[in-house]
Protein backbone atom coordinates (compact mmCIF):
# COMPACT_ATOMS: atom_id res chain seq x y z
CA UNK A 1 0.00 0.00 0.00
CA UNK A 2 1.15 3.56 -0.67
CA UNK A 3 0.54 5.94 2.22
CA UNK A 4 0.55 9.63 1.46
CA UNK A 5 0.86 11.64 4.67
CA UNK A 6 0.96 15.37 5.33
CA UNK A 7 3.29 15.84 8.30
CA UNK A 8 2.65 19.04 10.29
CA UNK A 9 5.06 19.19 13.26
CA UNK A 10 3.95 22.66 14.42
CA UNK A 11 5.40 24.37 17.47
CA UNK A 12 7.05 23.77 20.83
CA UNK A 13 7.66 20.06 21.42
CA UNK A 14 5.81 19.27 18.15
CA UNK A 15 8.96 19.06 15.98
CA UNK A 16 10.80 17.06 18.68
CA UNK A 17 8.14 14.40 19.12
CA UNK A 18 7.52 14.27 15.37
CA UNK A 19 11.24 13.64 14.71
CA UNK A 20 10.98 10.84 17.28
CA UNK A 21 8.00 9.31 15.45
CA UNK A 22 8.87 9.30 11.75
CA UNK A 23 11.66 6.67 11.92
CA UNK A 24 9.30 4.34 13.82
CA UNK A 25 6.54 4.86 11.28
CA UNK A 26 9.00 4.41 8.41
CA UNK A 27 10.50 1.21 9.82
CA UNK A 28 7.11 -0.34 10.55
CA UNK A 29 5.89 0.29 7.02
CA UNK A 30 9.16 -1.00 5.57
CA UNK A 31 8.86 -4.25 7.53
CA UNK A 32 5.43 -4.84 6.00
CA UNK A 33 6.47 -3.74 2.50
CA UNK A 34 4.40 -0.55 2.29
CA UNK A 35 5.48 2.69 0.68
CA UNK A 36 5.48 5.84 2.82
CA UNK A 37 5.36 9.10 0.96
CA UNK A 38 5.30 12.07 3.30
CA UNK A 39 5.90 15.78 3.05
CA UNK A 40 6.44 18.19 5.92
CA UNK A 41 4.61 21.53 6.16
CA UNK A 42 4.54 24.53 8.44
CA UNK A 43 1.51 25.05 10.67
CA UNK A 44 0.63 27.23 13.66
CA UNK A 45 3.36 29.54 14.90
CA UNK A 46 5.76 27.99 12.39
CA UNK A 47 3.29 28.90 9.62
CA UNK A 48 3.06 32.47 10.92
CA UNK A 49 6.84 32.79 11.09
CA UNK A 50 7.49 31.31 7.64
CA UNK A 51 4.44 32.36 5.63
CA UNK A 52 2.68 35.01 7.73
CA UNK A 53 -0.29 32.69 8.29
CA UNK A 54 -1.06 29.96 10.84
CA UNK A 55 -2.54 27.76 8.12
CA UNK A 56 -0.54 28.55 4.97
CA UNK A 57 -2.28 27.80 1.66
CA UNK A 58 0.39 25.28 0.66
CA UNK A 59 -0.09 23.42 3.96
CA UNK A 60 -3.84 23.15 3.46
CA UNK A 61 -3.30 22.05 -0.16
CA UNK A 62 -0.90 19.31 1.00
CA UNK A 63 -3.44 18.11 3.58
CA UNK A 64 -6.13 18.04 0.90
CA UNK A 65 -3.94 15.89 -1.32
CA UNK A 66 -2.94 13.47 1.46
CA UNK A 67 -4.56 10.29 2.79
CA UNK A 68 -4.09 11.48 6.38
CA UNK A 69 -2.53 14.24 8.45
CA UNK A 70 0.01 13.56 11.18
CA UNK A 71 -0.09 16.65 13.38
CA UNK A 72 2.24 17.70 16.24
CA UNK A 73 0.92 20.60 18.28
CA UNK A 74 0.55 24.33 17.85
CA UNK A 75 0.69 27.47 19.95
CA UNK A 76 2.96 29.21 22.38
CA UNK A 77 3.65 32.52 24.09
CA UNK A 78 5.36 33.96 21.01
CA UNK A 79 2.06 34.16 19.13
CA UNK A 80 -0.33 34.70 22.05
CA UNK A 81 -0.71 38.43 21.47
CA UNK A 82 -1.74 38.24 17.82
CA UNK A 83 -5.39 38.90 16.92
CA UNK A 84 -7.28 35.83 18.19
CA UNK A 85 -8.26 34.43 14.80
CA UNK A 86 -4.67 34.64 13.59
CA UNK A 87 -3.23 32.68 16.51
CA UNK A 88 -2.03 29.09 15.98
CA UNK A 89 -5.00 27.43 17.68
CA UNK A 90 -7.81 29.50 16.19
CA UNK A 91 -6.01 30.23 12.94
CA UNK A 92 -4.86 26.69 12.12
CA UNK A 93 -5.99 23.79 14.28
CA UNK A 94 -9.68 24.67 14.59
CA UNK A 95 -9.97 25.66 10.89
CA UNK A 96 -8.31 22.36 9.89
CA UNK A 97 -10.80 20.38 12.00
CA UNK A 98 -13.65 22.37 10.49
CA UNK A 99 -12.39 22.28 6.90
CA UNK A 100 -12.27 18.49 6.92
CA UNK A 101 -15.36 18.27 9.20
CA UNK A 102 -13.43 16.05 11.63
CA UNK A 103 -16.30 15.79 14.09
CA UNK A 104 -15.20 12.68 15.98
CA UNK A 105 -12.21 12.89 18.28
CA UNK A 106 -11.19 9.50 19.64
CA UNK A 107 -8.86 9.55 22.66
CA UNK A 108 -7.90 6.16 24.13
CA UNK A 109 -7.26 6.19 27.88
CA UNK A 110 -5.20 3.13 28.65
CA UNK A 111 -3.19 2.68 31.84
CA UNK A 112 -0.28 0.31 31.22
CA UNK A 113 0.00 -1.82 34.40
CA UNK A 114 3.70 -0.95 34.53
CA UNK A 115 2.74 2.73 34.67
CA UNK A 116 0.31 2.45 37.57
CA UNK A 117 2.88 4.11 39.85
CA UNK A 118 2.82 7.15 37.52
CA UNK A 119 -0.94 7.56 37.96
CA UNK A 120 -1.97 9.96 40.72
CA UNK A 121 -4.73 7.46 41.56
CA UNK A 122 -3.97 5.03 44.36
CA UNK A 123 -3.57 1.46 43.02
CA UNK A 124 -6.32 0.33 45.43
CA UNK A 125 -8.80 2.46 43.46
CA UNK A 126 -7.87 0.86 40.13
CA UNK A 127 -7.66 -2.88 40.83
CA UNK A 128 -8.62 -3.74 37.25
CA UNK A 129 -6.65 -0.96 35.57
CA UNK A 130 -8.10 1.60 33.16
CA UNK A 131 -9.09 0.89 29.58
CA UNK A 132 -11.47 3.53 28.34
CA UNK A 133 -11.93 5.74 25.33
CA UNK A 134 -13.17 9.30 25.22
CA UNK A 135 -15.31 10.14 22.20
CA UNK A 136 -15.33 13.91 21.99
CA UNK A 137 -17.49 15.88 19.55
CA UNK A 138 -14.98 18.14 17.79
CA UNK A 139 -16.58 20.54 15.32
CA UNK A 140 -19.55 21.94 17.23
CA UNK A 141 -20.50 23.46 20.55
CA UNK A 142 -18.99 26.51 22.17
CA UNK A 143 -15.79 26.30 20.10
CA UNK A 144 -17.64 27.12 16.89
CA UNK A 145 -20.78 29.03 17.98
CA UNK A 146 -21.29 32.78 17.61
CA UNK A 147 -18.57 34.80 19.37
CA UNK A 148 -18.53 38.47 20.08
CA UNK A 149 -16.73 40.97 22.25
CA UNK A 150 -18.54 44.28 22.56
CA UNK A 151 -18.65 47.44 24.60
CA UNK A 152 -21.82 48.00 26.61
CA UNK A 153 -23.47 51.44 26.97
CA UNK A 154 -21.98 51.74 30.47
CA UNK A 155 -18.49 51.28 29.03
CA UNK A 156 -18.02 47.69 30.27
CA UNK A 157 -16.74 45.05 27.92
CA UNK A 158 -18.88 41.97 27.37
CA UNK A 159 -17.62 38.77 25.73
CA UNK A 160 -19.95 36.12 24.34
CA UNK A 161 -19.30 32.49 23.34
CA UNK A 162 -22.36 30.56 22.22
CA UNK A 163 -22.80 26.82 22.60
CA UNK A 164 -25.00 25.40 19.86
CA UNK A 165 -25.76 21.84 18.80
CA UNK A 166 -28.19 20.42 16.30
CA UNK A 167 -29.65 16.92 16.14
CA UNK A 168 -27.58 15.81 13.15
CA UNK A 169 -24.32 16.73 14.90
CA UNK A 170 -25.27 14.69 17.95
CA UNK A 171 -26.50 11.72 15.93
CA UNK A 172 -23.31 11.29 13.94
CA UNK A 173 -21.04 11.34 17.02
CA UNK A 174 -23.43 8.99 18.84
CA UNK A 175 -23.02 6.54 15.96
CA UNK A 176 -19.24 6.71 16.37
CA UNK A 177 -19.63 6.00 20.09
CA UNK A 178 -21.94 3.05 19.35
CA UNK A 179 -19.49 1.56 16.85
CA UNK A 180 -16.64 2.07 19.31
CA UNK A 181 -18.59 0.43 22.15
CA UNK A 182 -19.55 -2.53 19.96
CA UNK A 183 -15.89 -3.26 19.27
CA UNK A 184 -15.16 -3.45 23.01
CA UNK A 185 -16.04 -6.13 25.54
CA UNK A 186 -18.10 -4.06 28.00
CA UNK A 187 -20.16 -2.36 25.24
CA UNK A 188 -21.07 0.51 27.54
CA UNK A 189 -21.40 4.19 26.72
CA UNK A 190 -21.45 6.79 29.47
CA UNK A 191 -22.99 10.01 28.19
CA UNK A 192 -21.60 13.04 29.99
CA UNK A 193 -23.52 16.31 29.83
CA UNK A 194 -24.93 19.16 31.92
CA UNK A 195 -28.59 18.49 31.22
CA UNK A 196 -29.66 19.97 34.57
CA UNK A 197 -28.62 23.41 33.24
CA UNK A 198 -27.84 23.56 29.52
CA UNK A 199 -30.39 23.28 26.69
CA UNK A 200 -27.71 21.81 24.42
CA UNK A 201 -27.22 19.04 26.99
CA UNK A 202 -30.97 18.40 27.18
CA UNK A 203 -30.90 17.86 23.42
CA UNK A 204 -27.81 15.63 23.66
CA UNK A 205 -29.52 13.57 26.34
CA UNK A 206 -32.70 13.06 24.30
CA UNK A 207 -30.97 12.34 21.00
CA UNK A 208 -28.39 9.93 22.43
CA UNK A 209 -30.94 7.98 24.48
CA UNK A 210 -33.32 7.61 21.51
CA UNK A 211 -30.55 6.65 19.11
CA UNK A 212 -29.05 3.99 21.35
CA UNK A 213 -32.52 2.58 22.14
CA UNK A 214 -33.42 2.47 18.44
CA UNK A 215 -30.28 1.12 16.80
CA UNK A 216 -28.14 -0.38 19.56
CA UNK A 217 -30.09 -2.49 22.06
CA UNK A 218 -26.86 -4.47 22.57
CA UNK A 219 -25.13 -1.37 23.97
CA UNK A 220 -25.65 -0.24 27.57
CA UNK A 221 -26.09 3.50 28.01
CA UNK A 222 -25.35 5.23 31.31
CA UNK A 223 -25.32 8.92 32.15
CA UNK A 224 -23.37 11.31 34.37
CA UNK A 225 -23.54 15.06 34.80
CA UNK A 226 -20.18 16.53 33.90
CA UNK A 227 -19.22 17.72 37.39
CA UNK A 228 -19.87 14.25 38.77
CA UNK A 229 -18.01 12.70 35.82
CA UNK A 230 -14.92 14.80 36.61
CA UNK A 231 -15.04 13.44 40.16
CA UNK A 232 -15.76 9.84 39.12
CA UNK A 233 -12.80 9.94 36.75
CA UNK A 234 -10.43 10.22 39.71
CA UNK A 235 -12.54 8.31 42.26
CA UNK A 236 -13.14 5.22 40.14
CA UNK A 237 -11.72 5.57 36.60
CA UNK A 238 -11.97 1.84 35.93
CA UNK A 239 -15.78 2.13 35.65
CA UNK A 240 -15.55 3.89 32.29
CA UNK A 241 -15.65 2.10 28.95
CA UNK A 242 -16.71 4.60 26.27
CA UNK A 243 -17.20 8.16 27.47
CA UNK A 244 -19.26 10.25 25.03
CA UNK A 245 -19.41 13.99 25.38
CA UNK A 246 -19.52 17.39 23.68
CA UNK A 247 -16.54 19.43 22.56
CA UNK A 248 -15.48 21.47 25.58
CA UNK A 249 -16.35 18.85 28.22
CA UNK A 250 -14.31 16.36 26.18
CA UNK A 251 -11.35 18.70 26.00
CA UNK A 252 -11.27 19.06 29.77
CA UNK A 253 -12.11 15.49 30.75
CA UNK A 254 -9.60 13.98 28.33
CA UNK A 255 -6.69 15.87 29.93
CA UNK A 256 -7.91 14.51 33.26
CA UNK A 257 -8.16 11.02 31.78
CA UNK A 258 -4.61 11.38 30.46
CA UNK A 259 -3.03 12.08 33.83
CA UNK A 260 -5.10 9.39 35.47
CA UNK A 261 -3.49 7.06 32.91
CA UNK A 262 0.00 8.30 33.77
CA UNK A 263 0.75 11.37 31.62
CA UNK A 264 -0.57 13.71 28.97
CA UNK A 265 2.53 12.63 27.06
CA UNK A 266 0.96 9.17 26.58
CA UNK A 267 -2.43 10.27 25.20
CA UNK A 268 -2.87 9.90 21.44
CA UNK A 269 -5.86 10.96 19.39
CA UNK A 270 -7.62 10.44 16.09
CA UNK A 271 -9.93 13.07 14.59
CA UNK A 272 -12.23 11.57 12.01
CA UNK A 273 -15.09 12.66 9.77
CA UNK A 274 -17.12 11.30 6.89
CA UNK A 275 -14.46 11.95 4.23
CA UNK A 276 -12.70 8.91 2.81
CA UNK A 277 -9.15 8.82 1.48
CA UNK A 278 -7.89 7.22 -1.79
CA UNK A 279 -7.90 3.82 -0.11
CA UNK A 280 -11.53 4.05 0.98
CA UNK A 281 -10.62 4.44 4.67
CA UNK A 282 -11.40 7.42 6.90
CA UNK A 283 -9.39 10.54 6.20
CA UNK A 284 -8.13 11.71 9.58
CA UNK A 285 -5.92 14.04 11.56
CA UNK A 286 -3.79 12.33 14.20
CA UNK A 287 -2.27 14.29 17.04
CA UNK A 288 -1.22 14.00 20.67
CA UNK A 289 -3.98 15.26 22.94
CA UNK A 290 -1.54 17.52 24.77
CA UNK A 291 -0.15 20.77 23.48
CA UNK A 292 3.12 22.36 22.49
CA UNK A 293 4.33 22.30 26.13
CA UNK A 294 6.34 25.55 25.97
CA UNK A 295 7.67 24.83 29.48
CA UNK A 296 9.72 21.87 28.23
CA UNK A 297 10.11 22.66 24.51
CA UNK A 298 13.61 22.49 23.03
CA UNK A 299 14.96 20.44 25.92
CA UNK A 300 14.61 16.98 24.39
CA UNK A 301 12.67 15.76 27.42
CA UNK A 302 9.13 15.52 26.01
CA UNK A 303 7.49 12.13 25.93
CA UNK A 304 7.09 11.11 22.27
CA UNK A 305 4.68 8.23 23.01
CA UNK A 306 1.48 10.25 22.38
CA UNK A 307 2.77 11.20 18.93
CA UNK A 308 4.02 7.69 18.17
CA UNK A 309 0.72 6.14 19.30
CA UNK A 310 -1.14 8.71 17.18
CA UNK A 311 0.79 7.40 14.16
CA UNK A 312 -0.41 3.90 15.12
CA UNK A 313 -4.00 5.16 15.26
CA UNK A 314 -3.45 6.62 11.79
CA UNK A 315 -2.36 3.24 10.40
CA UNK A 316 -5.44 1.61 11.89
CA UNK A 317 -8.13 4.16 11.02
CA UNK A 318 -6.88 5.70 7.77
CA UNK A 319 -5.28 2.61 6.21
CA UNK A 320 -6.82 -0.45 7.87
CA UNK A 321 -3.31 -1.57 8.85
CA UNK A 322 -4.14 -3.24 12.17
CA UNK A 323 -1.07 -5.50 12.36
CA UNK A 324 1.22 -2.58 11.62
CA UNK A 325 -0.49 -0.41 14.25
CA UNK A 326 -0.24 -3.22 16.78
CA UNK A 327 3.49 -3.55 16.07
CA UNK A 328 4.01 0.09 17.11
CA UNK A 329 1.71 -0.18 20.12
CA UNK A 330 3.45 -3.34 21.35
CA UNK A 331 6.87 -1.75 20.95
CA UNK A 332 5.76 1.28 23.00
CA UNK A 333 4.37 -0.93 25.73
CA UNK A 334 7.44 -3.17 25.77
CA UNK A 335 9.72 -0.15 26.08
CA UNK A 336 7.71 1.42 28.90
CA UNK A 337 7.41 -1.96 30.64
CA UNK A 338 11.20 -2.34 30.43
CA UNK A 339 11.51 0.85 32.47
CA UNK A 340 12.67 3.15 29.68
CA UNK A 341 10.91 6.39 30.58
CA UNK A 342 10.92 10.09 29.81
CA UNK A 343 10.75 12.36 32.87
CA UNK A 344 6.97 12.69 32.93
CA UNK A 345 6.57 8.94 33.57
CA UNK A 346 9.91 8.17 35.25
CA UNK A 347 8.36 8.81 38.66
CA UNK A 348 11.64 9.76 40.27
CA UNK A 349 13.62 7.07 38.42
CA UNK A 350 16.11 7.52 35.61
CA UNK A 351 14.74 9.56 32.71
CA UNK A 352 15.82 9.25 29.08
CA UNK A 353 15.62 11.91 26.34
CA UNK A 354 12.93 12.14 23.69
CA UNK A 355 15.23 10.62 21.07
CA UNK A 356 16.51 7.90 23.42
CA UNK A 357 12.91 6.89 24.11
CA UNK A 358 12.28 6.83 20.38
CA UNK A 359 15.42 4.76 19.71
CA UNK A 360 14.39 2.23 22.36
CA UNK A 361 10.91 1.89 20.82
CA UNK A 362 12.48 1.56 17.35
CA UNK A 363 14.68 -1.30 18.62
CA UNK A 364 11.66 -3.04 20.15
CA UNK A 365 9.66 -2.95 16.89
CA UNK A 366 11.38 -6.00 15.54
CA UNK A 367 12.52 -7.70 18.75
P1 LIG B 1 0.17 21.49 27.21
O2 LIG B 1 -0.62 20.29 26.93
O3 LIG B 1 1.09 21.97 26.16
O4 LIG B 1 1.06 21.23 28.54
C5 LIG B 1 0.46 20.93 29.79
C6 LIG B 1 1.49 20.26 30.68
O7 LIG B 1 1.72 18.92 30.22
C8 LIG B 1 2.85 20.96 30.67
O9 LIG B 1 3.43 20.90 31.95
C10 LIG B 1 3.65 20.13 29.70
O11 LIG B 1 5.04 20.16 29.91
C12 LIG B 1 3.08 18.73 29.92
N13 LIG B 1 3.17 17.92 28.67
C14 LIG B 1 2.39 18.01 27.58
N15 LIG B 1 2.79 17.15 26.63
C16 LIG B 1 3.85 16.51 27.15
C17 LIG B 1 4.73 15.49 26.67
N18 LIG B 1 4.57 14.96 25.43
N19 LIG B 1 5.71 15.05 27.45
C20 LIG B 1 5.87 15.53 28.70
N21 LIG B 1 5.09 16.50 29.22
C22 LIG B 1 4.09 16.97 28.46
O23 LIG B 1 -0.86 22.61 27.68
P24 LIG B 1 -0.67 24.19 27.89
O25 LIG B 1 0.64 24.47 28.52
O26 LIG B 1 -1.90 24.62 28.50
O27 LIG B 1 -0.67 24.77 26.41
C28 LIG B 1 0.52 25.16 25.71
C29 LIG B 1 0.16 25.55 24.30
O30 LIG B 1 -0.25 24.41 23.57
C31 LIG B 1 -1.01 26.56 24.22
O32 LIG B 1 -0.69 27.48 23.21
C33 LIG B 1 -2.18 25.68 23.84
O34 LIG B 1 -3.19 26.38 23.15
C35 LIG B 1 -1.51 24.69 22.95
N36 LIG B 1 -2.22 23.41 22.78
C37 LIG B 1 -2.18 22.87 21.54
C38 LIG B 1 -2.75 21.64 21.30
C39 LIG B 1 -2.67 21.08 19.93
O40 LIG B 1 -2.01 21.62 19.07
N41 LIG B 1 -3.31 19.95 19.66
C42 LIG B 1 -3.33 20.94 22.36
C43 LIG B 1 -3.35 21.52 23.63
C44 LIG B 1 -2.78 22.76 23.83
C1 LIG C 1 -6.91 19.84 22.22
C2 LIG C 1 -6.47 21.29 22.42
C3 LIG C 1 -7.25 22.20 21.49
C4 LIG C 1 -8.73 22.06 21.87
C5 LIG C 1 -6.83 23.67 21.51
C6 LIG C 1 -5.37 23.84 21.24
C7 LIG C 1 -7.63 24.49 20.55
O8 LIG C 1 -6.58 21.66 23.75
O9 LIG C 1 -6.82 19.34 21.09
O10 LIG C 1 -7.32 19.22 23.20
O11 LIG C 1 -9.18 22.72 22.82
O12 LIG C 1 -9.42 21.29 21.19
MN1 LIG D 1 -7.07 20.03 25.08
**Domains: count for the chain:** 2
Asked whether residue 247 falls in the same domain as residue 128, the answer is yes
Report, as residue numbers or ranges, the catalytic residues: 143, 194, 227, 251, 255
Which mutation among 10, 79, 88, 89 tests ligand 2's pocket best, with the greatest number of atoms within 8 A of CB? Answer: 89
Q: Which of 198, 225, 260 is the last residue of a domain?
A: 260
- 76 within ligand 1 shell (Cβ under 6 A): yes
Give the number of the ligand closest to the Cα of residue 297: 1
Ligand 2 center from residue 291 Cα (angstroms): 7
Ligand 2 atom closest to residue 90's alpha carbon, by position in its atom list: 7
Q: How far is CA 55 from CA 48, 206, 275, in A?
A: 8, 37, 20
At residue 19 the predicted structure's pLDDT band, cuts being 50, 70 and 90, is very high
Q: Which of 209, 237, 260 is the last residue of a domain?
A: 260
Q: Which of 196, 227, 260 is the last residue of a domain?
A: 260
Asked whether residue 90 falls in the same domain as residue 145, the answer is no
Asked whether residue 182 falls in the same domain as residue 71, the answer is no
3-state secondary structure 220-249: EEEEEEHHHHHHHHHHCHHHCCEEEECHHH
Ligand 1 atom closest to residue 294's alpha carbon, by position in its atom list: 28
Which residue's CA lies nearest to atom 1 of ligand 1?
A: 291
Reduce the DSSP state of residue 2 to 3 states and report it: strand
Q: Is residue 363 part of a domain?
A: yes
How far is residue 308's CA from residue 330's CA, in Å, rounded to a whole number? 11
Q: Is residue 115 part of a domain?
A: no
Q: Is residue 171 part of a domain?
A: yes
Whether the per-residue pLDDT at 81 is higher than 90: the answer is yes
Mean pLDDT of 232-250: 98
Closest CA to 257 of 138, 113, 107: 107
Backbone angles phi, psi at 137, to 5 degrees: -65, 135
Closest CA to 245 of 192, 203, 283: 192
Asked whether residue 24 falls in the same domain as residue 54, the answer is yes
Q: Is residue 114 part of a domain?
A: no
- 310 within ligand 1 shell (Cβ under 6 A): no
The neighbourhood of ligand 3, an ion, using CB within 5 A, equals 251
Asked whether residue 1 falls in the same domain as residue 51, the answer is yes
How far is residue 327's CA from residue 337's CA, in Å, rounded to a whole number? 15
Give the number of the ligand closest to the Cα of residue 94: 2
Residues 128/164, Cβ–Cβ less than 8 Å: no
User: What does the pLDDT read at residue 32?
Assistant: 98
Asked whether residue 172 falls in the same domain as residue 88, the answer is no
Mean pLDDT of 200-215: 98
Mean pLDDT of 225-250: 98
Q: How far is CA 19 from CA 9, 121, 132, 254, 300, in A?
A: 8, 32, 28, 25, 11
Ligand 1 center from residue 222 Cα (angstroms): 31
User: What does the pLDDT read at residue 193?
Assistant: 98
At residue 195 the predicted structure's pLDDT band, cuts being 50, 70 and 90, is very high
Which residue's CA lies nearest to atom 6 of ligand 1?
A: 293
How far is residue 92's CA from residue 156's CA, in Å, rounded to a whole number? 31
Ligand 2: residues within 6 Å at CB?
75, 89, 93-94, 251, 289, 291
Ligand 3 center from residue 2 Cα (angstroms): 32
Ligand 3 center from residue 93 Cα (angstroms): 11
DSSP 92: I
Ligand 3 center from residue 270 Cα (angstroms): 13
Asked whether residue 273 falls in the same domain as residue 248, the answer is no
Domain interval for residue 5: 1-109+264-367
DSSP 118-171: GSSS-GGG-TT--EEEEEEE-SSGGGTS-EEEEE-TTS-EEEEE-----HHHHH
The order of strands in the sheet holding 35-40 is 35-40, 2-10, 68-73, 282-286, 270-276, 104-110, 131-137, 242-245, 188-193, 220-225
Q: What is the pTM of this model?
A: 0.98
Q: Is residue 191 part of a domain?
A: yes
**343-363 tens-digit pLDDT:** 999 988 999 999 999 999 999
**285-296 tens-digit pLDDT:** 999 999 999 999
Asked whether residue 248 falls in the same domain as residue 278, the answer is no
Higher pLDDT, 127 or 337: 337
**297-330 tens-digit pLDDT:** 999 999 999 999 999 999 999 999 999 999 999 9
Strands (E), the chain: 2-10, 35-40, 68-73, 104-110, 131-137, 147-151, 157-161, 188-193, 220-225, 242-245, 270-276, 282-286
Q: Is residue 52 part of a domain?
A: yes
At residue 169 the predicted structure's pLDDT band, cuts being 50, 70 and 90, is very high
Average per-residue pLDDT for the chain: 98
> Residue length, the chain?
367
User: What does the pLDDT read at residue 348?
Assistant: 84
Whether the per-residue pLDDT at 158 is higher than 90: the answer is yes
Q: Is residue 279 part of a domain?
A: yes
Ligand 1 atom closest to residue 306's alpha carbon, by position in its atom list: 18
Asked whether residue 286 falls in the same domain as residue 223, the answer is no
Asked whether residue 164 falls in the same domain as residue 244, the answer is yes
Asked whether residue 255 falls in the same domain as residue 310, the answer is no
Q: Is residue 159 part of a domain?
A: yes
Mean pLDDT of 36-40: 98
Question: What is the CATH number for 235?
Answer: 3.40.718.10
Asked whether residue 140 falls in the same domain as residue 234, the answer is yes
Ligand 1 center from residue 292 Cα (angstroms): 5
Amino acid sequence: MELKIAVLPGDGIGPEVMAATLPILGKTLEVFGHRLEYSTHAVGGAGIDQFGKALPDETLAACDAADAILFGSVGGPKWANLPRNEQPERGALLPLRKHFELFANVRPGLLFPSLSASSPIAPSRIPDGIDMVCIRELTGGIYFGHKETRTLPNGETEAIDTMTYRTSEILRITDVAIATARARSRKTICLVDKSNVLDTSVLWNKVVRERVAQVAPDVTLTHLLVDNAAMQLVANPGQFDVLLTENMFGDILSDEMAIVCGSLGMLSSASLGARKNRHGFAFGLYEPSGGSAPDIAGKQIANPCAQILSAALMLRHSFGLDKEAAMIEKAVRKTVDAGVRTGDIAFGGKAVSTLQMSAAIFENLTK
